[in-house]
Amino acid sequence: MAANFWTSSHFKQLLDQEEVDVVNPLDKEKGITLEDFKLIKMHMANYIGKLATYVKVRQRVVATAVTYMRRVYTRKSMVEYDPRLVAPTCLYLASKAEESTVQARLLVFYIKKQIPDDKYKYEIKDILEMEMKILEAINYYLVVFHPYRSLSQLLQDAVLNDINMTQLTWGIVNDTYKMDLILVHPPHLIALACIYIASVLRDKDTTSWFEELRVDMNVVKNISMEILDFYENHHKPINEDRISAAANAALSKLALKP
């Protein structure tokens, strides 16, 4: 993937955090709080990641799928767009957009096989139908820029591209998709924040390197703080089962499927 982030639809679509943190009125009626909202999205990001391991697609596809999912919920309610269907459908759509097509029946097969909860079971036709609704919800903007691309370049430039640092920062970037950062910040700044955190954790002095970059360090530090807060709140290492249980409890408020 190519071209320029600054001229992209992705850039033009960046939102403020306040815009992202709005629970749709229809969901609010059902008693969904902002905490529930975030939790469900995080759980769905995990779910997408899990499905991706079954159908074997790259992390990039996961990242794009999670971004679609998060974009959908800036505009649509969870009552109308069941997250348990939106999540696999976003993965399905992202796999096409990222040129690693996964067949719908394969996705359905793995959901049936691997997910014991009946509320997650959907058929091929459900996915195909939801795909159309998602395309419309995201207004056919399919191109997503991710921090991964800048990451390797930046690490190389900072001479931090040893395996240890690369893996650590890569992991932190993966974790950022459990938040809405990708809707709010340009990807290279997210990458820098992850490098910043990793270098602090590993005691690498990157002060002068960061100073030479022409970026607003305040933004980078703010993003870093958000990431660190997130880790703090969720007791790193993140316990997916706990999140899953809590998210499912929140989802039950929506009373979507019998």
Partner 1 sequence: MALAAPGQLNVQELPSWGSRSVDCFEKLEQIGEGTYGQVYMAREISTGEIVALKKIRMDNEKEGFPITAIREIKILKKLNHDNIIKLKEIVTSSGNERDEQNNQEGNMFKGGIYMVFEYMDHDLTGLADRPGLRFTVPQIKCYMKQLLTGLHYCHANQVLHRDIKGSNLLIDNEGKLKLADFGLARFFANDHGGNLTNRVITLWYRPPELLLGATKYGPAVDLWSVGCIFAELLHGKPILPGKNEPEQLNKIFELCGSPDETNWPDASKTPWYNNFKPSRSMKRRVREMFRHFDRHALDLLDHLLALDPNQRWTAKQALDADYFWNDPLPCDPKSLPKYESSHEFQTKKKRQQQRQNEEQAKRQKIQHPQQHARLPPIQHVGQAPSHWHGPNHPMSNSQASMSSGPSHHHYGKPRGPPAGPNRYPSNGNQSGGYNPSRGSQVGGYSGGPYPPQGRGPPYAGSGMPVPGPGPRGAPGGYVGPPYSQSAQYGGSGAARGHNSMGSNRNQQYGWQQ
Residues near partner 1, by CB under 8 A: 1-3, 7-9, 75, 92-93, 96-97, 99-104, 127-129, 131-133, 135-137, 139-143
> Smallest gap, in angstroms, from Cβ of residue 101 to partner 1?
4
C-alpha 62/C-alpha 51 separation (Å) is: 9
Choice between 105 and 236, CB closer to partner 1: 105
Question: Could you count the other beta carbons within 10 Å of the beta carbon of residue 55?
Answer: 18
> Smallest gap, in angstroms, from Cβ of residue 11 to partner 1?
12
> Smallest gap, in angstroms, from Cβ of residue 155 to partner 1?
19
Q: Which residues contact 62 (CB under 8 A, 6 or more apart)?
A: 48, 49, 52, 91, 94, 177
Q: Residue 55 has which token pair? A: 């159908």
CA dihedral angle for residue 178, residue 179, residue 181, residue 187, rounded to 10 degrees: -10
> Smallest gap, in angstroms, from Cβ of residue 28 to partner 1?
19
Choice between 99 and 212, CB closer to partner 1: 99
Half-sphere exposure at residue 162, Cβ-oriented, CA atoms within 13 angstroms: 7
Q: Residue 220 has which token pair? A: 């980078």
Choice between 125 and 242, CB closer to partner 1: 125
Choice between 13 and 248, CB closer to partner 1: 13
